[in-house]
Amino acid sequence: MNTTKSQELYKRGQRHMVGAVNSPVRAFQSVGGTPIFIDHGQGAYVTDVDGNTYVDLVQSYGPMILGHGHPKVLEAVSQAITKGFSFGASTEAEVELAEIICDAFPGMDMVRLVNSGTEAVFSAIRLARAFKGKNKIIKFDGCYHGHADSLLVAAGSGVATLSLPGSSGVPEEAVKNTLIATYNSLDSVKQHIAANEDIAAVIIEPIAGNMGVVLPQDNFLKDLKILCEQHNILLIIDEVMTGFRSTFGGAQEVLGVEADITCLGKVIGGGFPVGAYGARREIMEMVAPLGPMYQAGTLSGNPIAVASGIATLKALRGTNPYQLFNELGKNISNTLLEEARKNKIDLTVNRFGAMLNPFFNANEINNFDDAKQCNTDQFAKFFWLMMEEGVFIPPSQYEAWFLSIAIGSTELDKLKIAISNSFKKLTNP
């Protein structure tokens, strides 16, 4: 596997780019080695600047659910570009995308388009605080909701701890109203509610995708919604990662719970920068220009991004690939588990729809503390073995693998061979 050009670009990029990257996970720090630089993608594949081609299970961390260069999306984007890049005024396409999104989410009457998942989340939290007239929020250890100050919080020991900043540059004052609970532990939420009267909202990923695909156990989400209703607290469900990945709508529909406010991103832009937050009418009417909660954006509802989003969602609705995703995900999961068993490697695989993750750990993974017990050194070796086999997976034990409709029988066969060879080399280098 030749990476000469990637190495040259990495060295060159370090001069004027922080770590030669524009998002930390791209630096490959958790797996070591030099990060690759991608030249292009087509269908289920990406090709780097050295000409190495990989089956792509990163999928830009979620948006490319149709694969790269889908003809319907290319056509829509090409037509939109000829009309203009940005206007600072509304377009018909924004109305259409809003209609598609609201139709797909029961209980969502209105939506506001923004430019990223991070922007959607911090806007949703501001909205919850405005609607409830309270300041505190509860989030869960290991759930990532973007890099806004109030959400970059690391939990200490115990199930109901004081918040501490999880990033340099975030003052304690910025996180003093953020309380940390343990994913899949309703008791940890109850402890915070018992100790605090001014909680506006609980925010959660329905499937935690930044600790490596962790699913809610038993009736955790349903019970959480009931608890919120009992104490006059809004439930914000962050579907930036899961939206339109397990059904044409949200994971909350599959899991039998309805959010008060939903956050979206990734798939609704089809690879372009788009985010959104939405809720029932009485909540959304708090947002300017109808209400006192201010939020604005020069490029919100960008016509090129919106065109890509509409084409992506229409293609998903037309193909309805979700049963296929379940079968494909199950097939890959079974292969991972079987090859790990053959080679006497501890492995647990969590899967939900078009998302899955192998944990190098023999035990169940139900929260972030469980995930942190994984053998990350073993994962790092596995990562590079898969790269040498022509498969691009996220360079972190804690990032989800994403499937796309472009993965067919040919790609599945390649994945099975790559997994088998990689596990063999893990035990017999």
162 with 304, same domain: the answer is yes
Question: Phi-psi category of 272—alpha, beta or left, where left has phi over 0 and alpha has psi -120 to 50?
Answer: beta
Amino acid at 44: A
Indicate the residue among 276, 302, 319 that finishes a domain: 319
Residue 255 sits at the vertex; the CA angle it makes with 253 and 258, to the nearest 5 degrees, is: 50
375 with 297, same domain: the answer is no
User: Does the pTM exceed 0.75?
Assistant: yes
User: Any bridge partners for residue 261, and if so which?
Assistant: 236, 279
- Domain span at residue 383 reads 4-69+321-427
Is 73 in contact with 274 (CB distance < 8 Å)?
no
17 with 146, same domain: the answer is no
User: Any bridge partners for residue 348, and if so which?
Assistant: 359
Q: Which two tokens stand for residue 376?
A: 């990350």
d(CA 198, CA 191): 14
**Secondary structure (3-state) at 211:** coil
238 with 361, same domain: the answer is no
Indicate the residue among 299, 319, 339 that finishes a domain: 319
89 with 64, same domain: the answer is no
In the annotation, is 424 catalytic? no
In the annotation, is 238 catalytic? yes
- What DSSP element (H or E) covers 48? strand 45-48
134 with 278, same domain: the answer is yes
d(CA 370, CA 373): 6
Cis amide linkage into residue 273, ω under 30° from 0: no
Catalytic residue among 134, 139, 266, 414: 266
The pLDDT tens digits along the chain (429 residues) read 999 999 999 999 999 999 999 998 999 999 999 999 999 999 999 999 999 999 999 999 999 999 999 999 999 999 999 999 999 999 999 999 999 999 999 989 999 999 999 999 999 999 999 999 999 999 999 898 988 877 776 433 233 334 455 677 777 777 889 999 999 999 999 999 999 999 999 999 999 998 889 999 999 999 999 999 999 999 999 999 999 999 999 999 999 999 999 999 999 999 999 999 999 999 999 999 999 999 999 999 999 999 999 999 999 999 999 999 999 999 999 999 999 999 999 999 999 988 999 999 999 999 999 999 999 999 999 999 999 999 999 999 999 999 999 999 999 999 999 999 999 999 887
**Burial (Cβ within 10 Å: 0-12, 13-18, ≥19) of residue 48:** buried
136-140/178-181 β-pairing: parallel
Residue 147 vs residues 27, 78, 154, 261, 368: alpha-carbon distances, Å: 17, 32, 13, 19, 18
312 with 329, same domain: the answer is no
Q: Which residues contact 415 (CB under 8 A, 6 or more apart)?
A: 55, 57, 332, 335, 391, 407
Catalytic residue among 10, 144, 183, 398: 144
Q: Sheet harboring 178-181: ordered strands across?
A: 110-114, 275-279, 261-264, 234-238, 199-204, 136-140, 178-181
- For 194-225, b/e burial (b = at least 16 CB within 10 A) is eeeeebbbbbbbbbbbbbbbbbbeeebbeebb
In the annotation, is 72 catalytic? no
Q: What is the pLDDT of residue 166?
A: 64
Q: What is the pLDDT of residue 157?
A: 28
Number of domains in the chain: 2
Task: List the CATH number of the domain containing 210.
Answer: 3.40.640.10
Query: How many CA atoms within 13 Å lie on the side-chain side of 146?
Result: 24
Indicate the residue among 264, 299, 319 that finishes a domain: 319
**Secondary structure (3-state) at 54:** strand
125 with 231, same domain: the answer is yes
DSSP for 109-167, written as a single string: -EEEEES-HHHHHHHHHHHHHHHHT--EEEEETT----S-GGG-EEE-SSSSBPEEESS
98 with 191, same domain: the answer is yes
Nearest by Cα to 308 from 26, 75, 15, 16? 75
148 with 31, same domain: the answer is no
314 with 328, same domain: the answer is no
Task: List the CATH number of the domain containing 391.
Answer: 3.90.1150.10
Strands annotated E in 217-371 = 234-238, 261-264, 275-279, 348-352, 355-359
264 with 332, same domain: the answer is no
Catalytic residue among 48, 56, 141, 238: 238
